[in-house]
Amino acid sequence: MVDAIVLNEIEETLAQLTLEEKVSLLAGKDFWRTVPVPGKNVPSIKTSDGPSGARGDTFTGGTKAAFFPSGISMGATFNPDLAYEVGQFIADEVKSKSASVLLAPTACCHRSPLGGRNFESYSEDPLLSGKMASGYIRGVQSKGVAATMKHYAANEQETWRLSVDETIDETTLREIYLKPFEIAMREAQPWAVMTAYNIINGVHCDSNPLTLKQILRGEWNYEGLVMSDWFGCNSMVESLLAGLDLEMPGPAKKRPVKELLAEAEKDENVRAAVDKAARRILTLIAKVGKWKDMTPEAPEVSREDPETAKIIRKAGAEGVVLLKNDNALPLQPKSLKKVAFIGPNAKATVAGGGGSANLNPNYLTQPYETFVSAIQEINSQIEVPFAQGCIIDRWVPIINAESGLCRVGGPGSEPGLLAEWFRGYETKGGVVSSTVFKDSSLFLVDTRPAELTVEEGFSVKLTSQVSVPETGKYNISLSTITASKLYLDGELLIDNWDFKERGNLMMNVGSEEQVRTIELKKGQWYEMVVHNASIWPKESPSDIFMQELGAMGIRVGLAFDYDNNTLVTQAVDAVKDSDAVVVVVGLNNEWESESYDRTSTKLPNQQDDLINEIAKVNSNVIVVNQSGAPVDMPWAENPNIKAVVQAWYGGQEAGNVIADVLLGKQNPSGKLPLTFPVKLEDNPTHMYFPGKDQKVEYTEKLMVGYRYYDTGNVEPRFPFGYGLSYSTWKLGKTVLSTTELTEGGSLTASVDISNTGAVAGAEVVQLYVKRKVPTTSSVKRPIKELKGFKKTHLAPGETAVAEISVDDKSLGVWIQETGRWVVEAGDYEILIGTSSAESALTVAGTVTVKATWSWI
């Protein structure tokens, strides 16, 4: 925190700043930094994405960084203490990128299983989301780095994300979508908050008087910094008066200094708001240890730290959820001769979802290699055949320097692709700047040389020599933000100069992928050149922010033209005589990403067919699924599918995490932080997501996730809070500290938990409250809600007491008619168990509230 001396200095500096200097602070300097005022010793501080690690100041291909498990994987740990540890390590990563502000955590609740950014967030449940976010925030800030809780609020979809107008009743808004933020304000006090893009009940989040002014600044007394999401500031004065301190990125778009200064000079309310916002910016600078520190920004560095790798592997394993196990896991290598390893993700490095949560990892691990290495350490004679099974790429895979099949120039030249910047549209004349990229996905939003201006126009030439591993038909693809052409050995192969349609690539501003299929020969090198000019095709949808920014983007794909039917047949042939089959399926950062939502919960591209066909010829099949949200599992009840593992996105240690769990080096202890429905149509938002004509109604109200399934008696595939173990567990009788709850009081449930199995592990005891009293609220209430949980790690035969506390406000409901939180008189049933399913819960007792109380 900031001591009294520095607080006085902040006030002194604020008094010395001119009004114009104060106004200049209220928008960013560039894409990642705040504005300095050197004459008054006010430094610039740097921000960095994101939830899964510190990427630094380059969106793609930047400084290598540690890649942590995604938010949903952390949510599955049900372990806020582990989130605290992870936060500490991520803070060190932030410092290595010379940044002071981490743009994380993402704490919005999952409304629909189709949400493209679900993988970034923790859960469908606001309590779990808030507790996990609180642990993460406290960990980050314990190292002097600011955490930025986002996206405030109700950012549950990416479709029309900049403009979607959400109709949400206030009870639902407060009890579901604001609740994680409220919990974190109370338990972790994040130093910064980022507003969401979307509109709530007709008003953008960056200037919403209810969520920002009344609730965040008023009821919660939040005095930390509030910044906009990037290009998410939609007004000049309105946002400032509502409590938005900082427009990002810079230079200012909605808050140009001259115009805002004029408003401040003529209106004392605006001047007062400028003072408040400037004070909060100065205070944040002090909190992160940069007060009056005018030292030049140090270069970014990569830190491959063994202890960081350990915590990533530990956290990834603790989030893995064992969904089914008919004595198939853990595998016993000494008794096996052949274990087939099959599937589109078996040899893939699936570490996380796409968008701002992505980064350039220190390294990646893939399941097959790590599994083979680990299992053959135990039994060197075991065979582990591999078959692809099917291809699940949404787009043609990019070219990667690590493959050894692309180089900047002739023989012996550097692996990679050379990008050169030019003045004008023709990629002619002197090269202004050049960079060698290690793969062919270039989202050039923050790397344009400063001397190239949008008004004058500029261009990029991407050059590489490419080769292929075998002769055959190959797909070559091109997508760009602006006009482009791709040449192969001097011949125009793809003309994307006047494209009309935009797709989901490059944050929804990339063109639809253009694909050509041609014959290529092994051993031959082909010169590939892409010309990309800063010309927005006239008939293509425009993006005013990206145009003003001068954003460029090039994505080139090159891959063998596979046939999935053939691959499935090959996989079936490969597993017939195997003792066990591991099938690794799922999604990746092309299917789950910022800027677009999924359209289906089915596994894409014949993965279900692959699993079903393998199960016809082998009776010991283990399915490992990697995804950040629910997928349909129509094969889960098949008796030949002996085990199902939900592995999420485990970051750079994902391969090791899967191998550890399959071989029993780690006992899975994850619990589902969201419900897996049988099919998409079963989920409560099916009829209302993503809405129509850029509007969406939260018609399901409080019936989000398990609240809906439990209340409506809709049987899910797997319930919220569910997860198996290699251990067995026994819960003793629960003792309640009181049978009566009064204002200012609390309730503690104490339950003995015993590990009755043969291996060490962990179990999560969950406390749900079922209302036995009718509510005065006009909004239908769920039959029960999670109100507490405790994860306990135990050795074999060990017993411990799990204590879960519920405070006096935990039973409160928002009564929209009176505008107050109320704990209503009556009886509340306390349920204790290991998932939200009724069969997994026992009634621990009843707590009575004799007199109603309320608060704002």
> Phi and psi of 444, rounded to 5°?
-95, 65
Query: Token pair of 614, please?
Result: 């393998």
CA–CA dist 34, 29 (Å, integer): 5
Give residues with Cβ within 8 angstroms of 849, minimum separation 6. 740, 741, 742, 811, 823, 824, 825, 826, 827, 828
Structure tokens at 225: 């910094």
* CA distance linking residue 591 with residue 394, whole number of Å: 7
Tokens for 144, please give them: 């002097």
Q: What span, in angstroms and rounded, lies between the C-alpha atoms of 657 and 652? A: 10
Which CATH fold topology does 306-393+566-711 show? Answer: Rossmann fold (3.40.50)
- Of 843, 699, 852, residue with least CA distance to 784: 843
CATH architecture of 729-855: Sandwich (2.60)
Report domain extents, the chain: 4-287, 306-393+566-711, 401-560, 729-855
DSSP for residue 511: B
Q: Give pLDDT, residue 683.
A: 97
Check if 229 is active-site: yes
pLDDT confidence of residue 324: 98
Q: What pLDDT is recorded for position 61? A: 84
Q: What is the structure's pLDDT at 777?
A: 75
Please, where are the H alpha helices in 579-665? Answer: 607-617, 654-662
The CATH architecture one would assign to domain 401-560 is Sandwich (2.60)
The residue among 723, 735, 789 whose CA lies nearest residue 761 is 723
Catalytic residue among 57, 206, 229, 660: 229
Look at residues 625, 612, 626, 602 and name the one whose alpha carbon lies nearest to residue 679: 602
| Dist. CA 682–CA 676, nearest whole Å | 10
pLDDT score of 537: 94
Single-letter residue type at 45:
I
Mean pLDDT by runs of 10 across the 856 residues of the chain is 90 98 98 97 97 93 95 98 98 98 98 98 98 98 98 97 97 98 98 98 98 98 97 97 97 96 98 98 98 96 96 98 98 97 97 95 97 97 97 96 93 95 96 95 90 94 97 98 97 97 93 98 97 95 86 96 95 96 98 96 97 98 98 98 98 98 98 98 97 97 98 97 98 97 96 98 98 80 97 98 96 94 95 97 96 93
Angle 769-775-779 (CA atoms, 0-180°, nearest 5)? 95
Q: Which CATH class is domain 4-287?
A: alpha beta
User: What's the token pair of residue 379?
Assistant: 């039994």
Crossing angle for the helix pair 654-662 and 306-319, to the nearest 10 degrees: 50
